[in-house]
Amino acid sequence: MGTKPKHLTQDDRQAIKHSLDSGHSLKAIARAIAKDCTTVSKEVKNRRMFEKSGCLGKRFNDRANRYGCDI
């Protein structure tokens, strides 16, 4: 009985990125790369990056007292 590789390859990660950009679900992506859907969701969760943007008309403010600060 053959064993499946346990780690994601760079090609798998690229396929996940392109599929997410195309709007595919995590289950569909997992089926496409022949991995478990929890593996795909953990990969997405661990490698996500947040965009720092402010509200309409204001720039991003990450200060502790940002609600009382006009900067």
Distance in angstroms (rounded) separating the CA atoms of residues 56 and 51: 15
Residue 17 has pLDDT above 60, yes or no: yes
Does this model's pTM top 0.75? My answer is no
List the domain range (segments joined by +) for residue 27.
10-47
Query: Does 71 map to a domain?
Result: no
The type of residue at 38 is: T
3-class secondary structure, 52: coil
Contacts (Cβ under 8 Å, ≥6 apart) of 39: 8, 30
Query: Does 61 map to a domain?
Result: no
Query: Does 65 map to a domain?
Result: no
Query: Does 59 map to a domain?
Result: no
- Count of structural domains within the chain: 1
pLDDT digits (tens, 9 = 90+) for 30-50: 999 999 999 999 999 999 887
The type of residue at 7 is: H
